[in-house]
Structure 1
Amino acid sequence: MRNWLHSAKNYWRQNWNKVDVVSIIVFVLGITLVFAPSKPANIVGRVVLAANFSVFSLRFLQRLMVFTELGLLLVMAEKMMMDSVRFMMILLTVMMSYAVTSESVLYPDMKFSWSALYHLPNKAFWQTFGELGLEEIQGDECAKDGLCPSPYGQYLVPVMVALYVITSHVLLLNLLIAQFK
């Protein structure tokens, strides 16, 4: 019994083995849900299996470590991912501060809703990639949801968008590039 416990502890120390155990458990859960009689459970099972396929695919990368060139690239990619986590924390802080500030200036009378917790970071995230949503800021889409931007927000928020995009693209992405050199 003592030998088995020692072997289990050694097995659990390796990160790839943890990934294996979790992915097998999630796979069994997904298969169980796919064959469940209810349609919503079936759909959730398919989503779980699709996500689990990604984990299995990433696990395949560990098998490529035996090749000299691919192994070195994977080690470098792993270290870059660890460095990226710190960068993402800075980007997330800048993104959330911009999102809350711009929405409060644009819609000062807006009441709190749970959908705003999704809408705020979603809008700021896509603005990072160039989907600025200027139609919404200028009030072109206010008839759709009944919420119109404030007059001073229509002038101030485009400036805030410009500053946010410049900050996120120029400063933060250059910081990320410099960090990897």
Structure 2
Amino acid sequence: MRKLSSLLLLLPAIASAACPPLLDHRVPGLSGGSIDMCAYQGKAVVVVNTASHCGFTPQFKGLQTLWQNYRDKGLVVVGFPSDDFFQELDQDQAVASFCQVNYGVSFPMASRVHVRGDEADPLFRQLAAASGDAPKWNFYKYVIAADGKTVTAFSPLTRPDSASFIKAVEAALPGP
């Protein structure tokens, strides 16, 4: 019984060690709690920096549709509100309400973060390094393959329903 107890104590460390470094992040959730990116290992993950008052804000609709169409196939969409480009609401609660009321967003949303510069969230620093491309504006999208290592970046000009984006998402999904 003592050996079993010792093994159970090690399980969180073993699970964390198995998490790909790119997903080894825990971030505060927009509506409370936290988002453990390690929980998405083995899935394709779309990470997008968002803003409520941007010309690209209607992309929330396409991201929600993408999430609904592909989540049962192994896709997770995670939004990261950011005011780095001066187009985001001041409070997390206001952002959450805006996203839900205007676009029916049900995919995970993190609390507001910085996505560029010295204050950039560590996940965004890693995404920029892995893809060679840091966010230059709102609605920059990163597709992380199910292997947790392969990253493809897309500018805000690429809509979530564009053929090239859908192709990248489908290629990133876990195998059958």
**TM-score, normalising length: structure 2:** 0.24
Structure holding more strand per residue: 2
Q: Which structure is larger by alpha-carbon Rg, 1 or 2?
A: 1
Question: What's the TM-score, normalizing by structure 1?
Answer: 0.24
